[in-house]
Amino acid sequence: MGNLSKQQIEELAIHLENAELEAYEVTKITDDFPDMTYEDAFDIQWEIRRRKEARGNKIVGMKMGLTSWAKMAQMGVEHPCYGFLADYFSVPDGGDIQHDALIHPKIEAELAFVLKE
């Protein structure tokens, strides 16, 4: 069980999603909520997902993070994490990237596996 209330989870989801949609930087939410648990974090993530789906976005895949022991040790965590990929997250080959819609633009190589078409 997490330490945050349902209302706090919803407010944090709105806060983080607004930052993404309006492209502004936020401080780490764990600075304001140091007792936040992994369960709380995933609850916030699922609330963001719910909000995206309610607006008509489709979830097209999942993303794994912190999958190496070295990276987990560097970040001070014991388990990998995961998240979702929404349809609007990808850019087609040759497509344009709207730089002003990004907070900290960078390129990162990712492996993807198509399991079903």
- Does some domain include residue 88? yes
Q: Is position 114 within any domain?
A: no
How many structural domains is the chain composed of? Answer: 1
Helix (H, G, I), strand (E, B) or coil at 34: coil
Rounded to whole angstroms, the Cα distance separating 70 from 59 reads 29
Q: Residue 54 belongs to a domain with what CATH number?
A: 3.90.850.10
Residue 108, in any domain of the structure? no
**What 3-state class would DSSP assign to 89?**
helix
The answer to whether residue 33 sits within a structural domain is yes
Domain membership of residue 116 (yes or no) is: no
Helices marked H in 1-117: 6-22, 29-32, 38-54, 69-75
Q: What is the domain range of residue 72?
A: 6-101
pLDDT tens track for 3-56: 999 999 999 999 999 999 999 999 999 999 999 998 999 999 999 999 999 999
Return d(Cα 100, Cα 55) in angstroms, integer: 22
pTM: 0.85
